[in-house]
Structures are given as structure tokens and as C-alpha cells.
Amino acid sequence: MTILTTPAGIATGAADALRKRPGADVAGATFKWLLIGATVFATGFLAVLLAVMIVDGWDVLSGNLWYFLTHGFSQRSAGEAGVWQGIIGSLQVALVTGVFAVPTGVATAIYLVEYAQGNRFARIVELNIRNLAGVPSIVYGLLGLAVFAQTLRGFSGGTTAIAGGMTLAAMVLPIVVITSVEALKAVPDSLREAAYGVGATKWEVLSRQVLPAALSTILTGTVLALARALGEAAPLILVGAATGFMSFGDANMLETFTGPYTALPVLIFNFARQPGADWGVNAAAASVIILVLVLAVNGLAIYLRNRFERQW
Amino acid sequence: MTQEPDATVPEVTVTAETAASQHTRIDVSGAAAAPMAANRADTQTVFHCDGVHVYYADFLALRNVSLNIAAHEVTAFIGPSGCGKTTFLRCFNRMNDLIEGARVEGSINYHGVELYQDEVDPVEVRRRVGMVFQKPNPFPKSIYDNIAYGPRLAGAKRSELDDIVERSLTRAALWDEVRDRLKTSAYGLSGGQQQRLCIARAIAVQPDVVLMDEPCSALDPIATGRIEELIAELKTEYTIIIVTHNMQQAARISDMTAFFSVQANEMGQRTGELVEYAPTSLIFTNPDDPRTEAYITGRVG
């Protein structure tokens, strides 16, 4: 850097000093290419995974997809087996998970942010909840087996979709709480003050200003948590979804919640365990189906978010 | 509506000159403010403050403030940053209740009611004592809903709302600019328009007092000028207390001025206090306290 002292010096040196020099910001350019490389690696990895699954499962996906989607599990041959029970089971489990995790989680977050307002108790609870989000899912499976399937047998009916859903609810609850807490904290205090300033009660401030403002973020976090629950196999295997069998018989929709159940990830696990290449095709095809299901759920999240954001 | 401001405040139009002539200099060092209030007509005084201390947890933010706020006047609070003027302003509608650990001691009397006794509902206080904030903070809703929000809470009928919205926006000198887009988002307005919207929102519930916390600090000079004109008009109907960093603004728009200063104790904690409270014309021409003079002439602060 040249120190320019006199006006004459500034004038004569200007053209030279202002000229672009190649290589002036090598670090910045390098960093940019590193970032691009990381992005390509991350998305490329997913693309390869997806491609491999589609190629491996192509026989099922292209040939008898409808049969595969609408028929139940069969141990006799890979060609006879389908994922119908898994789809229904996963949706049931996800529904139970949502029913238990969402109201509880959002309510917890509202209490922590709006009522406890960062007092010592709230800080301790929040810290613990953040730690709980890191607990391996298999541990929740043990909890589910001990508490939801056995202690609460009278309510859940044993190792049923209800017990499985409650287990996953316990697992995703910390995620729901944390995303909701962040969503509520992101609502600016100026909005709360504006509402209090015209004579709103706490309930009116919460229900008409804070929650609507935080809703899109809460919804997004909640649905993402449900998507994670949809993909879990380990805890469900512990809480009774291991058989891969589910006979509907004459059972109505409500009764299936309290009978034997299975879920898509558990089915994939079962398919993959069977000997023979054609079972592998089934596993790959079922993986594509669960991906589509999760994508559909995420799409719903985006739709809901956009819908609620447009309201103002 | 839940209240009729005209029932409590007589319809007197107080011009700046007559208001100023009624005031004599007020000694704020002791309890002399109390007899002052007794000397004046009771209906003239909206707030009567005596020995107000404000704490945030153990920290004393504001020490021993005694002053009276007169009806239909503009009272300005000036002083350096951290002197507690905003803290004091937020005492008048119990906004400090929202801050964890904030505590108000002493007496703030509003039309004969002690504001900080247990029986007082802060929600009702805030309906009578509205507030306009430093940064324009419209609700993320339509212009119409921003204005209608408060009246709806107060139980206004749907059929009354159109009138209230038009009246409030007209009063805030915004109606002509937004009449064709009432249903569009308030976020589409400029900063100055948003602040006038916030003023309209505050007066839509027909308050008695409007508190303004540096309402022009985020605005350009033209928008500031419009807000100042608005304040001059609004004082015929409302009592206005305004915090400002801009001394010219205080001189232009206020009838009474309170100068706050800040003092640090040996532990470095900075506590605000009221230095001088007098008619604006006196404060700016012939201040009593050397600290006031130093501040308004720009030698400190």
C-alpha cells in the first residue's frame, strides 16, 4: 500500500493504484471453490444414493409397482411381498407421534419462552432438552418398551402402533421443543410490545401475534421432526414392529392402532435380511417409496409454511 | 369502547403560551412537587409522580424522580443515553412490568389512582396510556387490521371499525396516502408512514395519554417534520409525553421539559436522575442547573 501524501501524488498515482491486479484475492477465490466443491460433494452423494436405489429397485418400480404398493408382506417369495402394511403402519405411527409430540412440544416451548422467560428453571430445562436431542434413538426404543409397551400397557395395548408412535414422540419431542423455542425467540419483542401497548392481555398477545408470527417456523420444524420419525427403524423394532406381519382381517382402522403393526423402515430391514437378490430389489424399491413419502411430507411442510406466511 | 376520555378531562384547549405561564419553576430536589400539584387544578394533572425509583433486579436505574405531567401538554424527557428517560416513560403504562426483575418504587398517581398497587390491571392502564415506540413496529397485518386491532380487543363492534380506522388514520395524517390500500400489508409503507400508522394505532383506542419513545429517531428529516406537526395537533386531544435525543425537537414541540442526567457510583453502576423540570422556554433559555446548561449548549452529552 502506497501512502499518498500530496495532491499531486494522488493524481499521478491514481490510474496505477486503482488498476485491477490479478491474484489480489487468492484466498477468497480459493475459499469459494472449496465451498462449491463441498456443495457438489454433498448433493452428489445424495444423487448417487438415489440413483443406486432406483436402479437396484427398478424391476419392482417399473414392473409391478401397483402390486408392490397394495399387497402385504409375504415370506414365501420376494415377488409376492409388498409394502402396503408398512405404508399404513408408518402413517399410523406418524399420526400417533404427531398427536403426542406436537401439542406437548409446542406447549413446552411456549411455557419456556413466554412464561418462564429465561429464569433458572427454564434454562436448566432447555439445556436438558437440547442434550436429549442427541440421545441415540435405540435408547428411546428401550424407554418405549419399558414405559409405553409395558407400564402403560392398559392404554397402548402392548407393542402396538400406539406404543411405537409414543416412543417416536418421545424421541422427536426435543426437536419439536427446540425448533419451537427458536421460532418463538425469533419473534421480535417489538411485536409483543406493540400488542401490549394497545391493551392486549398476555393471552391475546400470544394467540393473535406471537404464535401466528412463529407458526410457519414451528410448522416447518415439526414436520421435519415427523419426517425423521418416519425414517426410524431401531426404536420401532424394540417396540414390537419386528415381525413384519400385520393381518388386517376384519379389523377396522381404529382397531389396527392397537394390533400388531409394522413400519416402512422395519420392512426394509426385513427385506434386506432375507437371502437372495430379489429381496434386495424389494428393499431398494421400498427405500425409494419411503423417500417419496418423506419428500411428500416435506412438501406439505413447505406448502403449509408458504400458506401461513401469505396471510399478512 | 371501554372509556370516555372526555369524561375525565375537561374540554380545555390549552395553548402553549397559557400553559407555560401557569408553570413556575419546579424544585425537584425534594418533595416540593407535591404541594405544587395541590396548587393547580386537579384535573389539569394527569400523572403525579413522587419519589419514583426504578430497579432492574438489584440495579438502581432511576433515582427519586418527582414531577407532574399536565393534561393536553407535550412533556419532553431529554438527557444523555442511559439516563433513564425511557425507563421512566415506560413506568407510565406499566410497560416495565414486561421486563423480568424490573421494579418500581415510589408513587405514580394517575387521576387519583396509584398505578402500582395490586388492584390495578396493567392491561387497562395500557388502553388509557398508549405508546409509540422508537422503531416503527406495525403488526405483520394489513393497514386496516393494524388500526382495528386495539379497538377489537376493547370490544368495538364490527360496524364501528370502518369509522374508527378512517378517523384514526385521518387524525394521524395518513388517510389520504393509504385509503386505497387499506387491505395491503403495513410492511409496504415507508418508515415515516409506518410510524404514523403506529401513532394512528395508538390513538385508535382513544387513550388519554400517548407515550412516545424517540418516535423520530429512525426517520429522515421530512418524516420527522410531519410527525412533529402531528404531535402539535394531537395535544389538543391527548396528553403527550415524548422521549427525544434531539434537543431542537424538544424545543420545537414541547411545553414542559425534564432533563435527566446520569451518575455512576463507585461500582460503576450508572443511575439516572431528574436534574431539572421546567417550562421548555425556560429550560432552553435560562436553565437553573449548570448540568442542564452544559447539556443543552452541547458541551457534554
Contact pairs from chain A to chain B, CB under 8 Å: 68
Q: Return the residue in B153, B181, B194, B198 with the most chain A beta carbons within 10 A, the one to mutate for interface testing.
A: B153
Stronger pLDDT, B10 or B284, i.e. the higher one: B284
Show residues of chain A in contact with B123, CB under 8 Å.
199-201
Show residues of chain A in contact with B185, CB under 8 Å.
312
Enumerate the H helices of chain B as residue ranges.
5-8, 16-22, 33-39, 85-89, 122-128, 143-153, 158-171, 175-178, 191-204, 221-234, 247-253, 280-285, 290-296
**What band does B11 get if pLDDT is binned at 50, 70 and 90?**
very low
At which residue does the C-alpha cell 398477545 appear? Answer: A205
**What band does B13 get if pLDDT is binned at 50, 70 and 90?**
very low
Helix or strand run (H / E) with residue B105: strand B102-110
The answer to whether the Cβ–Cβ distance between B130 and A198 falls below 8 Å is yes
B276 by DSSP, 3-state: which? strand
Residue A304: Cβ within 10 Å count: 16
The answer to whether the Cβ–Cβ distance between A199 and B123 falls below 8 Å is yes
Q: What is the pLDDT of residue A196?
A: 93
Query: B28 and B67 in contact (C-beta within 8 Å)?
Result: yes
**What band does B65 get if pLDDT is binned at 50, 70 and 90?**
very high
The answer to whether the Cβ–Cβ distance between B139 and A190 falls below 8 Å is no
Show residues of chain B in contact with A117, CB under 8 Å.
100
The answer to whether the Cβ–Cβ distance between A201 and B123 falls below 8 Å is yes
Where in the sequence is the domain holding A216, given as residue range(s)? 81-263
A282 by DSSP, 3-state: which? helix
The answer to whether the Cβ–Cβ distance between B98 and A192 falls below 8 Å is yes
In a domain, A215, yes or no: yes
- Average pLDDT over chain A reads 83
Show residues of chain B in contact with A197, CB under 8 Å.
93, 95, 126, 130-131, 133, 202
Q: Which of B95, B139, B187 sits opposite A196 (nearest CB)?
A: B95
pLDDT in tens, B94-113: 998 888 889 999 999 999 89
Residues in chain B: 301
Query: B133 and B199 in contact (C-beta within 8 Å)?
Result: no
In a domain, A173, yes or no: yes
SS (H, E, C) A160-179: CHHHHHHHHHHHHHHHHHHH
Q: What is the ipTM of this complex?
A: 0.80
Q: What is the pLDDT of residue A253?
A: 57
Strand ranges, E, within A92-251: none
Q: Which of B127, B139, B187 sits opposite A199 (nearest CB)?
A: B127
> SS3 breakdown of chain B: % helix, strand, coil, rounded to 5?
40, 25, 35
Would you say the pTM of this structure is higher than 0.80? no
**Which residues of B lie closer than 8 Å to A, measured between beta carbons?**
93, 95, 98, 100, 123-124, 126-127, 130-131, 133, 135, 137-142, 149-150, 153-154, 185, 187, 198, 201-202, 204-205
Q: What is the pLDDT of residue B280?
A: 93
**Which residues does B186 contact at the CB level (< 8 Å), separation at least 6?**
B138, B139, B140, B141, B142, B143, B146, B194, B197
* A34-48, A77-91, B11-25, B266-280: least confident range: B11-25
Average pLDDT over residues B210-236: 90
Show residues of chain B in contact with A204, CB under 8 Å.
153
DSSP code for B195: H
Show residues of chain A in contact with B98, CB under 8 Å.
192-193, 196
Domain with residues B31-140+208-296, CATH architecture: 3-Layer(aba) Sandwich (3.40)
Cα dist from A189 to A210, B133, B198, whole Å: 9, 11, 15
In a domain, A37, yes or no: no
Looking at the 3D structure of chain A, how many domains does it have? 1
Q: What is the pLDDT of residue A71?
A: 76
Show residues of chain A in contact with B130, CB under 8 Å.
197-198
The answer to whether the Cβ–Cβ distance between A197 and B131 falls below 8 Å is yes
Helices A277-309 and A211-230 sit at what angle, rounded to 10 degrees?
180
For the four alpha carbons of B227, B232, B235 and B240, in that order, the dihedral sign comes to positive
B218 φ/ψ angles, rounded to the nearest 5 degrees: -100, 10
The answer to whether the Cβ–Cβ distance between A312 and B149 falls below 8 Å is no
B74 φ/ψ angles, rounded to the nearest 5 degrees: -100, 120
Parallel, antiparallel, or unpaired: how do β-strands B102-110 and B113-114 relate?
antiparallel
Q: What is the pLDDT of residue A99?
A: 93
DSSP code for A61: I
B289 by DSSP, 3-state: which? coil
The answer to whether the Cβ–Cβ distance between A194 and B130 falls below 8 Å is no
Using 70 as the pLDDT threshold, list the residues of chain A that sit under it.
Answer: 1-10, 75, 241-259, 309-312
Residue B208: Cβ within 10 Å count: 21
Q: What is the pLDDT of residue B36?
A: 41
Q: What is the pLDDT of residue B18?
A: 42
Q: And the C-alpha cell for A186?
A: 425469533
Q: Which of B135, B142, B205 sits opposite A190 (nearest CB)?
A: B135
Q: Which of B127, B133, B205 sits opposite A194 (nearest CB)?
A: B133
The answer to whether the Cβ–Cβ distance between B137 and A190 falls below 8 Å is yes
What residue of A is the nearest CA neighbor of B135?
A190
> SS3 breakdown of chain A: % helix, strand, coil, rounded to 5?
75, 0, 25
DSSP code for B142: B
Show residues of chain A in contact with B217, CB under 8 Å.
none
**Which residues of A lie closer than 8 Å to B, measured between beta carbons?**
117-119, 188, 190-201, 204, 208-209, 213, 312
CATH number of A154's domain:
1.10.3720.10
B185 φ/ψ angles, rounded to the nearest 5 degrees: -65, 140
pLDDT in tens, B146-156: 999 999 998 88
Parallel, antiparallel, or unpaired: how do β-strands B209-213 and B129-132 relate?
parallel
- Average pLDDT over chain B reads 84
The answer to whether the Cβ–Cβ distance between B137 and A191 falls below 8 Å is yes
Residue B13: Cβ within 10 Å count: 9
pLDDT in tens, B171-210: 888 999 999 999 999 999 998 899 999 999 999 999 999 9
